[in-house]
A and B are shown apart, each in its own frame.
Chain A
């Protein structure tokens, strides 16, 4: 097996990889960055979503040898420099946007990509963007609230809610 080198969360990291080694396997087993999760085998659930050269990528759909030298950001790289929670992470905590925590790393990474592309999304845009990330615990309600809050916005109350 040959060594593959990536810049992960700002640091150069190397580990051996086979031709068939997926980025997510490389991160979890090669580098022991276990914050990135595997929830399915069809690139549907988004629990493994990371950023590769600034773009959101499902790490189960990339062979690590194909992206040798790339810059990768994972959930372990999302806190502030002083270790405190980043804006999106803090919003998820404040608005109870996670329960079991398994989909959470992918959700946070997807939300970060969304807010980079679209700093003031509507509720519908948030829901649409998160289509590739499945959460079984929260019903998405508080995830949507958290992402909106991270963008500095509130969620409008339901259309038929009584005053």
Chain B
């Protein structure tokens, strides 16, 4: 019987009541009395020198309060980068300045040049069009390898080159890896592009800055996944506002997918301008602006080599990646191709030797940072593609080749610095094969062939490092922040609870699932637990939501705080019932004394905490409120096996997805309905990357895909009904809930399934196509088929 409440129940989401009736409160729904509006003038060239900006006409336009350019930000800090990578030669990465408004040069299409604040949004837009910038166009660098060539135009004149860093990992293994590759019985080599994507949460970014003269306090309402991080970065590094004078509120947020982690210029601008003008200042991004100002994702160019011995055991992996940083370093950009990518190259396999080199490159494009999965999709894609290719070259079953090389004993220390605590890769693979009826595939392929279609089946595994945390570890790896999480549990006198969490929900349903956990621990109704998030004024310092960390890290903090609550409540109960605290049990919201019929309700004890007439005041304080910070000692390692079945029309190259199946191991699951929904969404984004989505620049750096007319977002008819399963559960060994995280799995595991399936289909039709770069559009598939005829 499925549970009907508490941990493990598919409780319906409480958030839905407001979202389904138009009562959500997103940032753009917030209007502060007296607010003015800002419009940014953005560069329409990829690279240029700013010789002057004539703002005089704009300043005279109706409603205009002020026009800002870079000179108004003298003494104000630039946008900081939160992660430092050290190159092979021991030097720190090259870190360019990132001004709020372009200073001296524009470096990508969309780089903000000037900002107009006016009474209405329309007046601000009108006036922005009247600004006349004098920009001398410079040659742009778009291709990464061209950007590193001798004599290439430099994105930043004060850096020595366009190379941000040159990272080797694990550098000590390099010689041994080179030797193993040289001596291998077989080496499969694959060169590929992991295509640039745009996260595209449906809610565009919004910022509203406000300033209170009476208290000298600034408030920023913003579309963020981590309001405390924004407060720290913007306060300490950009505007110099101490945290106690700065409040950041991220209310209902309409999706994030990584791109709302980062601190953006528009947030700092609105906060700054509100104080300058003594007026609230609001900015609402258009979708076109979002395409050229939200941090992009992926954009790796990679060569991977897989070495095998004569028995098809993996002996080494060697990988060379060029990672596009874009024109500036976004908040966490340097970490994505390195620590979120290099550390996952072992995948689910016991490859003893791994070396990867990553060259991060500045180009005249929008900055690139974490997008759903962040580094782990890139690692998974290249690894699972090269394994499939190796199986084809060796003439062995790709599933058997994987199984032969699976890690089977845990804990397992990989050669790339991480230790998997637990897993069962055979278990998820077995489950997957049952889900997809692999045995029936040959017959299905025959049916497709009879209809003139090519059918393919792609299968792969994935592993990811989630619960992004251990502060000491990430500190050693270059993070300039800690990555714990926090929770304050406040019990009210009449027994209801408010849990204030540093995590942030922007679609994940924390208000429901977090309440399930706390209610389950105490044994009360979920409706008695309220989850508060998204406001630095009423939540403890926390690092926010990304990297599938909220339940594993934030949930664990909440468990720790609730444990403190329960321990104190038991002391109160023991006093009231005149028993030893050790003999008190709490179950179903009732305190009992072991071996007696004494009993107290939860509400009796919480009331006593606030009305301490009969209370052990000499031992404990009144009140019932506890805070916990949780900093785990390892990442979590969700893993699984995925499969995709496709049909390719050889006349057109069009790929139809007939089935997409995911067998995941997320450890324990709190709300299966929500977990499945997370996987569905990830699968759609992975399929989108594999078949549809591509952020395209031309050679001059013009952004060709800057609207939904040009960037192919997955639509309902592009997607199949998914098959998902999370019944293989090896609980995480080091957090109190035994959970691993589920938010990114679908986007990590699915792209190789799709591409493996299409290659399988084409090969079955006699087309010797080894690889096609994503997205596998009809034109690309048709061209590859016909080139290989």
Contacts and interface: CB of A to CB of B under 8 A. Distances in A.
Contacts of B509: 99
Nearest to B645: A160
A134 B201 CA distance: 10
Contacts of A156: 721
Nearest to B444: A160
A94 B122 CA distance: 41
Interface stretch (B385-393, B566-574, B675-683): B675-683
Interface centre among B25, B31, B444, B719 (most CB of A within 10 A): B719
Interface in A39-73: 39-42, 44-45, 47
Interface centre among B22, B254, B287, B746 (most CB of A within 10 A): B22
B713 A136 contact: yes
B16 A37 contact: no
Interface in B12-57: 12-13, 15-26, 28-29, 31
Interface centre among A44, A123, A137 (most CB of B within 10 A): A137
A74 interface: yes
A6 interface: no
Contacts of A99: 255, 507-509, 677, 681
A157 B437 CA distance: 13
Interface string B186-205: 00000000000000111110
A95 B683 CA distance: 18
A112 interface: no
A100 interface: yes
A134 B715 contact: yes
Interface string B3-14: 000000000110
A136 B681 contact: yes
B717 interface: yes
A77 B17 CA distance: 14
Given A96-B13, A162-B435, A75 B22 contact: yes
Nearest to A83: B21
A158 B721 contact: yes
Contact of A18 (B15, B20, B122, B508): B122
B14 to A, nearest CB: 10
Interface string A139-154: 1111110000000000
Interface in B396-452: 434-437, 440, 444
B507 A137 contact: yes
Given A75-B22, A102-B255, A134 B708 contact: yes
Contacts of A144: 716, 721
Given A139-B722, A157-B721, A39 B257 contact: no
A77 B367 CA distance: 41
A141 B286 contact: no
Contacts of A85: 17, 20-21
Interface in B711-753: 713-717, 719-723, 746
Interface in B282-301: 284, 286-288
Q: Chain A contact residues (Cβ within 8 angstroms of B): what range? A: 35 or more
B436 A142 contact: no
Contacts of B714: 139-140
A41 B287 contact: yes
B526 interface: no
Contacts of A135: 202, 716
Interface string B681-723: 1111100000000000000000000011100011111011111
Contacts of A139: 680-685, 714, 719, 722, 746
B12 to A, nearest CB: 6
A93 B202 contact: no
B769 interface: no
A96 B707 contact: no
Contacts of B683: 139
B624 interface: no
A105 B305 CA distance: 48
A23 interface: no
Interface centre among A96, A101, A160 (most CB of B within 10 A): A101
B507 to A, nearest CB: 3
Interface string B748-784: 0000000000000000000000000000000000000
A76 B437 contact: no
B202 A39 contact: yes
Interface centre among A75, A85, A100, A141 (most CB of B within 10 A): A100
Interface in B231-281: 252-255, 257
A159 B680 contact: no
B506 interface: yes
Interface in B641-687: 645, 658-659, 673-674, 676-677, 680-685
A11 interface: no
Given A36-B22, A101-B19, A138 B203 contact: no
A83 B653 CA distance: 50
Contacts of B677: 96, 99, 137-138, 142
A91 to B, nearest CB: 10
Given A139-B681, A155-B721, A160-B444, A131 B716 contact: yes
Interface string A73-114: 011101100000100010011101011111111001000000
Interface string A114-145: 00000000011011101101111111111110
B708 A160 contact: no
A158 B708 contact: no
B715 A100 contact: no
A35 B23 contact: yes
A33 interface: yes
A127 B716 contact: yes
Given A89-B20, A101-B24, A105-B22, A94 B12 contact: yes
B670 to A, nearest CB: 14
A41 B437 contact: no
B22 A35 contact: yes
Nearest to A155: B721
A42 B716 CA distance: 18
Given A29-B31, A35-B21, A89-B21, 19 more contacts: A20-B122, A37-B202, A42-B287, A42-B707, A44-B707, A76-B21, A85-B17, A96-B13, A98-B19, A100-B252, A100-B253, A100-B506, A102-B255, A136-B257, A138-B677, A139-B680, A139-B683, A139-B685, A158-B723
Interface of B: 12-13, 15-26, 28-29, 31, 122, 200-204, 252-255, 257, 284, 286-288, 434-437, 440, 444, 506-509, 645, 658-659, 673-674, 676-677, 680-685, 707-709, 713-717, 719-723, 746
18 contacts: A35-B23, A38-B204, A38-B284, A41-B288, A42-B708, A78-B21, A79-B21, A93-B20, A99-B255, A99-B508, A100-B19, A101-B16, A103-B202, A105-B22, A141-B719, A155-B721, A160-B658, A161-B437
> Which 4 pairs across A and B sit closest by C-beta, in order of nearness?
A35-B22, A101-B19, A102-B254, A139-B684
